[in-house]
Amino acid sequence: MARRRAKDKKIYVLDTNILLHEPFAFLNFQEHDVVIPMTVLEELDHIKDKHKDVSREARIAIRALEDVLKDATPEQMLQGVALPSHAEEKNAGHLFIINDHHISDQIPGLPGGENDHLIINTALFLQREKAPTKVILVTKDINMRLKAKGAGLKLVEDYRTDQLIDDVRFLYKGYYKFSGDFWSVVKDCRTHNEGRETYHFVPRSVLPNAYINEYLIDEAETFAGRVLEINEQEIKILDLGFERLMHKHAWGIHPKNIYQAMALNALLDPDMDLVILTGPAGCGKTLIALAAALELVIEKGMYDKVIVTRNTPEIAESIGFLPGTEEEKMAPWLAAITDSLEVLHKTDEHPHASVQYIMDKANIQFKSVNFMRGRSIQNAIVLLDECQNLSAAQLKTIITRCGEGTKLICSGNLSQIDSNYLTAVTSGLTYIVERFKNFEGSTTINLNGVVRSRLASFAEANL
């Protein structure tokens, strides 16, 4: 058994962006060996002192490496330092630091000065020296993966340990649509009435893959409900009523279809601490979220304020040092919010004055993601717009800032990712949709079914 394991052992060479994406990534390769070229340490050193959000990840990665290597001698570092392992894992891998500057060029014409090329050269050197052991370069840089393959490296991979799905098409939508009529599928169920609410108890076999707070609708438009409880035998469903759900409204906004109706129901539910809205541009995510926020703050008085935040196009880097308050400098990035406010009050006699009055009355605050760390937000609605460009770590930072009585609304479009370091499957939005899909205090609604303008629909299908 031990001989077989030794034969199957692999060597993973990590690029810098892996440690910036997940500072503890080098601990996640089980019994395999991990190599970190000196060039990676130099890049981390250059990044750690910059005034960027990613600098924090660089510092965490350096400290994590130091915790493993602090007692190792130079000889031990060359031979490999055992990585921490769980008690049940007796064959832990080793961590190597290699001085890649002294490795001769493995491929003529591959420039040695660029950091990417130095790291690729290290992997090529190990591939030759450690054969037949498999050597794998792990990087999130697509272009680097292409260059490495072109240079002759046999195995190149993306870092997928924290990737919960392989295809965004299979991302949890937050609802399940029955073919035809709901009752023709269910047929037999137990019904219970408590005051104004009606609950149905259906066999688990009807929905074997149901999740808490998942909405249930049918093609016949006769039924709408939400999953409340799940056990091994049956599922408890709250009957929302299709027509009643369609008549939901907030701040003068009425849903155009059942998808927006489900979103409004979740947004107006005080028991929902986290509401995630996904869907293409123009489907009404921001407008519905803002209308619900105004309804809950001004009309119902359930919250004290609305905090609106989003990442800036430079992936949450500094908002600059030009004169002006934080809100004034964030205003251009949050124009979608002010646009939505204008839509909500376009029929008023003085729309501009109405928007300013509502912003003051609802205590709407524009904040930068940069300044969310360390805060504790109490009794507020936090509207996080365009969060498809945030990493899982950045979203975790914001979610953990929400204190008692705070509702977080995350919205984003996975087809419009501006970050150079994220894809649809690695986006923080995808991550939280999958992580929170069985949390009793959250729900997700995908608004792909929303009918948008003819122009937007045509552009998305043909451009």
How many domains, in total, are found in the chain? 2
Tens-digit pLDDT profile for residues 31-66:
899 999 999 999 999 888 775 667 878 888 999 999
Partner residues linked to 384 by β-bridges: 309, 410
pLDDT of residue 3: 40
pLDDT of residue 103: 84
pLDDT of residue 142: 85
Residue 246 has pLDDT above 60, yes or no: yes
In a domain, 3, yes or no: no
For the record, the structure tokens of 268 come out as 């107006």
The torsion angles phi and psi of 340, rounded to 5 degrees, stand at -65, -40
pLDDT of residue 340: 74
pLDDT of residue 277: 95
Are both 150 and 83 inside the same structural domain?
yes
pLDDT of residue 315: 36
Are both 206 and 324 inside the same structural domain?
yes
Peptide bond into 132 cis (omega under 30): yes
Q: What is the CATH number of the domain that holds 103?
A: 3.40.50.1010
CA 325 to chain centre: 29
- What domain range includes position 456? 168-461
Are both 211 and 128 inside the same structural domain?
no
- Higher-confidence residue of 170 and 206: namely 206
- Cα distance between residue 137 and residue 35, in whole Å: 9
Tens-digit pLDDT profile for residues 66-105:
999 988 888 888 888 998 875 455 577 899 999 888 888 8
Mean pLDDT of 374-378: 80
Percentage of residues in the chain having pLDDT higher than 70: 86
- Higher-confidence residue of 17 and 166: namely 17
The whole-model pTM stands at 0.74
Are both 320 and 225 inside the same structural domain?
yes
